[in-house]
Chains A and B, each alone.
Chain A
Amino acid sequence: MNTFDLNEVTIGYEQKTVLNRLSFSIPHGKITVLLGANGCGKSTLLSTLARQRDALGGDIAFRDKPLDSYRAKEAARLMTFMPQVNVAPDGLTVEQLVRFGRYPYQTFFKRYSEDDERAVERALAFTDTVSLRDTLVSNLSGGQKQRVWIALALAQESETILLDEPTTYLDMSHQIEILDLMYRLNRLEGKTIIMVLHDLHLACRYADHVIALAGGNVYREGSPNDVVDETFMKDVFGLKVIVTEDPLYGTPLCVPYSHYELNEKRPT
C-alpha cells in the first residue's frame, strides 16, 4: 500500500497552474522529501495532500481511498500537517496547544478522556517538552516552538505526518534535532513522514525517497543516491556542482561552484 497515489493531478491557483498532470506515489512507512527550486510548487503540492486546498483536477488517493472521500475528523486521525509558519494565539500554554491535537477524537460528551491525556503526555515526552508544559508558547525559543508544534501533530496520533520546511529559521544544531526527531518517529513508531526541505544535504541524509519537482512536473524520483547527481542539479536548480559522498553516511553531498565559475567570469 502506498500512502498517496496521484494520478494526473493538476495543482495551482485559479488563474495559474503550478503543477500539471502529476502522477506519482508516496510510499508507506518511509521518509519522503519533496525537492525543488523556489516557487516550483512543492509547498502547494504538500498543502494539497494535507487537504488545505483542493486540486484543480485529477485523482489523489490516500491509503487507497480518494482523499476527498474522508470526513475531516477521519482524515485527521490518519494524517497531520505542520505548516511552515506557526503563530500561537496569545496566552496559550504549551499543554493547552498540544491538547488541540486531540480534537479529532473528541465529541460533545467526550471532552477529554484518559486516552487523550495519555496521547498528550506521550507527545510531550517524545518531543522533550514535558518541562515546558505550563510555559506560554509565545515565550519559547525557535527550536522549542518547533518541537511544541510537532508535539501538537504527534498528539493527533496519526500514521502520516506532513511537514512544510520544519527546519526554517533554525540554526544547524536545532535543524539536526528536528530531523533526528522525524527519523526516530519513522524508525521507532513506523510513521510515514512527508516533508518539504530546503537543505539538500540534510534532505539526502534523512530521506528514504525523494521526489524532485521542476518545470511543473516530477523531474525525477527515487532514493537520494539515484536522484541527486550533477545533471539533476543543473536541471532543477540551474547550479553546477560536484556531487561527492557525505563522509559520515555516504549519502550524496553537493559542493556548488560559484555562479561566476560557470560563466568563467570570476574576478581574480
Chain B
Amino acid sequence: MKTYRFRKGPVSFTLRKREIELALLLVVGLLLSIYFGLAIGDTFLSPASLAALFIGGGDAFEQLVVFEFRMPRVLMAITAGASLAVSGHLLQLTIKNELASPEIFGIVGGAGVATATFFTVFTDERTNQLSVPLAYIPIASFLGAIVVGVFLFYLLKRGVPPVRLALVGIGISIFSQGIVQFMMLASNVYRKNDIQQWLTGTVYAATWNQLKIMVPFVLLFLLAALLIERHVRPLHISEATATSIGVPVRGIQRGTLLLSCLLAGIGVAFVGAIGFVGLMAPHIARQGLKLPYIWATLLVGATIVVLADVLARTIFYPYELRTGVMTAVIGAPYFFYLLRRMMKGSIR
C-alpha cells in the first residue's frame, strides 16, 4: 500500500494513495451531482451556461431559478445528508453494529412526534390555519429529537449498555408512530397532509434563510464529530480494548450519543424524515469503498441526498416525488445486499 508521510515539528500524519484517490473521486462525484442539482429542472442548463451564471451572466430568470430555488435546495440536501450520515456513522461505531441509524434509535421518531404535536396544538380550529409562523416547525422537530437524545443519554448514564439503547430506540420508534398516527387521525385534512409530508421528508421548500440558521450548527457539529472520531474508532473493536489503550470510554460514549442526536435532530429539522441515509452512507463508505472514516461517510451521505433529489425531480417529470421516497427506493436494494451478507454469515 503506497503511503505518504508528512512530518513537521509536532505535526505528523500519514496519507495513503488509495485513500487520496478515492477522496478525489468522492469529491468529483459530489460536484457532479451538485451540477445536476443546479442544472436539471424545467429549464436545463449546460455546464457552460451554468458557469456563465456564476460569473454574473445569463438572464434574470435563470439567475432566479438557480440561485433562489435550486441552489438552496442542493445545499439543503448536502447539509441534511451529511448530518444524517455522520449521525449514523457515530451511532454504528458506538454500539459496534452496522445496522444502527438515527431511525432505529428513535431520534427521528421523537422529532416526528414533536412536529405532529406542533401542527396539532398550533392549528386554529376555525380557520384551519397555523396560529404561529411555519418557520417555528424546525425548532419543534429539533427539540423532539433532543428530548429522545436526553432520554437515551440518561439511560446510558444509568448504566444501560449502548447496544440496548438501540432496542430502546426501536421501542421509541413504534411508540412515536402510535402517537403520530393518533394525531393525524385527530387533526383536519390539511394538517394531516403537513404531517404526512414531514414524515416522508423533502428538500423541496429549502430557502436561504433556513440555510443561514442550519449551516453554522451543522458545521459546528461536524467539526466536533471529526474531532471525536479518533476516540470513537477504538470502540469499534471493543469497550475492553478501548479502555486498555486509554480511551475514556464512558465519556466518549456519552459525547458521541449526544453528538449523533444533535446531528440527526438538525438533519431532519428543516427537511423532515429523509430516511436510510444514516444507515446506508456509513456502510457504503466502510464496506463499499473501504473508507471507515467520517469524512468519507459525510461525502457519501451528501451525494446520496443530492442525487435522490435530482432523481425525485426527474423520474416522473413534471411531477415531483419527495426526496424521502427516493432515498427509500435507493435503500431497498441495499437491504437485499445486507440480506445476502447476513446469509453468507459475514455479519455476525
Q: Which A residues are closer than 8 A to B by beta carbons?
A: 47, 50-52, 72-77, 79-83, 86-92, 97, 100-101, 103-104, 106-114, 134, 152-153, 156
Taking a contact as CB atoms under 8 Å apart, the answer to whether A112 and B12 are in contact is: yes
Extra contacts, 17 of them, besides A91-B290, A112-B12, A152-B245 (Cβ < 8 A), are A52-B239, A52-B243, A52-B244, A72-B247, A72-B248, A73-B246, A75-B246, A76-B246, A81-B240, A90-B346, A91-B286, A92-B237, A101-B245, A103-B247, A112-B14, A152-B241, A156-B244
| B220 CB–A CB distance under 8 Å | no
Cβ contacts A to B, 20 pairs, < 8 Å:
A50-B243, A52-B244, A72-B246, A79-B244, A80-B244, A81-B240, A81-B243, A83-B244, A90-B347, A100-B237, A100-B245, A103-B230, A103-B245, A104-B246, A106-B230, A107-B10, A109-B11, A112-B12, A112-B14, A153-B244
CB-CB nearest in chain A for B236 = A89
Q: Which residue of A lies closest to B286 (CB)?
A: A91
Q: List residues of B (203-228) whose CB comes within 8 Å of A's CBs.
A: 227
Pairs of residues from A and B, 5 with the lowest C-beta to C-beta distance, nearest first: A76-B246, A111-B13, A104-B246, A73-B246, A81-B244
Query: CB within 8 A of A103: which of B12, B234, B239?
Result: B234
Tell whether, in the assembled complex, residue A108 and residue B286 are in contact, meaning their CB atoms are under 8 Å apart.
no
Give the distance in Å from the alpha carbon of A165 to the alpha carbon of B174 in the complex: 43
B287 within 8 A of A: yes
**Chain B interface residues (CB < 8 Å from chain A):** 1, 5, 7, 10-14, 96, 227, 230, 233-234, 236-241, 243-248, 286-287, 290, 292, 346-348
Q: Which residues of A contact B239 (CB under 8 A)?
A: 52
The residue of chain A having its C-beta at the shortest distance from the C-beta of B9 within the complex is A109
The docked-state distance in angstroms from the alpha carbon of A146 to that of B313 is 54
Q: Majority SS of interface residues in chain B?
A: mixed
Query: If the complex has contacts A87-B238, A108-B227, A134-B1, are A156 and B14 also in contact, measured as CB distance less than 8 A?
Result: no
A80 / chain B contacts, CB cutoff of 8 Å: 244-245
Contact B7 A114, beta carbon cutoff 8 Å: yes
A164 CB to nearest chain B CB (Å): 9
> Separation in Å of the B72 CB from the closest CB of chain A?
34
A81: B residues at CB distance < 8 A: 240, 243-244
Number of A-B contacts (CB under 8 A): 87
Residues of the A chain whose Cβ atoms lie less than 8 Å from the Cβ of B5: 112
In the bound complex, what is the Cα–Cα distance between A262 and B286 (angstroms)?
59
Most buried by A among B227, B240, B286: B240
Q: Is the CB of A52 within 8 A of B246?
A: no
Known: A88-B237, A100-B234, A134-B1. A109 touches B10 (CB 8 A): yes
- Interchain CB contact under 8 A, A86 and B245: no
Are B13 and A52 neighbours in the complex by a CB distance under 8 Å? Answer: no
Chain A residue numbers with a CB within 8 Å of B348 are 87
Quick check: A113 and B241 within 8 Å, CB to CB?
no
Q: Report the nearest A residue to B3, measured CB to CB.
A: A112
Measured CB to CB, the closest approach of chain B to A12, in angstroms, equals 15
* Contact between A110 and B10, CB atoms less than 8 A apart: yes
Q: Which residues of B contact A90 (CB under 8 A)?
A: 287, 346-347
Closest to A101 in B: B245
CB-CB under 8 A from A47, the residues of chain B are 240
Q: Are B241 and A100 in contact (CB under 8 A)?
A: yes
- Assess the A83–B241 pair: CB atoms within 8 A: yes
B245, B248, B286, B290: residue with the most chain A Cβ atoms closer than 10 Å: B245
In the complex, A152→B237 CA distance in Å? 12
* Contact call A113/B246, Cβ cutoff below 8 A: no
A51 cross-chain contacts in B, Cβ below 8 A: 243
CB pair B227 A76 closer than 8 Å: no
CB distance from B119 to the nearest CB of A (A): 42
* Neighbouring A residues of B244 by C-beta, 8 Å: 50, 52, 76, 79-83, 153, 156
Measured between alpha carbons, how far is A134 from B347 in the docked complex, in Å? 21
Report Cα–Cα, A80/B241, bound state, in Å.
9
Among B10, B240, B244, B286: residue with most chain A CB under 10 A: B244
A156 to B247, CA, bound (A): 13
CB < 8 Å neighbour of B241 from A72, A86, A91, A111: A86
Tell me the minimal C-beta distance from A140 to chain B in angstroms. 15
**Whole-angstrom distance between the Cβ of A79 and the nearest chain B Cβ:** 8
